[in-house]
Amino acid sequence: MSMIREHWDTLQTRERRMILLAGLAIFILLSEMLFLSPYFDERKRLEQQIEILHGDLNWMHQASAQVKQLSKGKPAARPSGQSMLSLVDSTAKSYGLGQLVKRVQPDGQNIVRIWLEGVGFDVMLRWLSVLSDRYGLVVTGLVVDRSGEGSELINARIVFEGAK
């Protein structure tokens, strides 16, 4: 330590100032690299996360409103004058199931039986969900089996019952 002190004492005032300024500059750069930069990076990440969470919260509020509306027990009515049979048929076509419907059998005004062949299970579930959520149809019977050996497609027999 005394050797450093002796060397310092031999330096001119101008050299001492330059060393102090260089030391200060190094201190500022290290402080920025070690403390400030990570702090601002983390702050930016947290702000982005807050924006995402606000979006999720807005979606939850909308979903909550829909759940409250649906829990009132009033499903959307069928379009005026549309029979349950035509509703099931038209929604099946809109979900790309029109060619896969092999048979449709009405049983009075409030019951429809439908046979599907070679349909994807997930597509059928989305279609059933729409019929239930939007139109208040209830699946009272469902039989599902594989379309063929090694096939991911299914055959299904479904019984729908509507509001009386």
* Inter-axis angle of helices 121-135 and 84-94, nearest 10: 140
Task: Output the CA–CA distances (angstroms, integers) from residue 126 to 67, 109, 114, 123, 137, in the order listed.
Answer: 18, 24, 16, 5, 13
pLDDT at 42: 93
Q: Coil, strand, or helix at residue 73?
A: coil
State the virtual CA torsion across 133, 137, 142, 145 in degrees, nearest 10.
-60
Residues 26, 20: Cα–Cα separation, whole Å: 10
Residues 24, 101: Cα–Cα separation, whole Å: 80
Task: Output the CA–CA distances (angstroms, integers) from residue 20 to 6, 26, 31, in the order listed.
Answer: 16, 10, 16
pTM value surpassing 0.85: no
pLDDT at 2: 85
pLDDT tens string for the chain (164 positions)? Answer: 788 888 888 989 999 899 999 999 999 999 888 888 889 999 999 999 999 999 889 888 888 887 777 666 555 555 556 788 888 888 888 888 888 889 888 888 789 999 999 998 888 998 898 888 888 888 899 999 887 776 788 999 999 888 65
Beta bridge partners of 120: 153
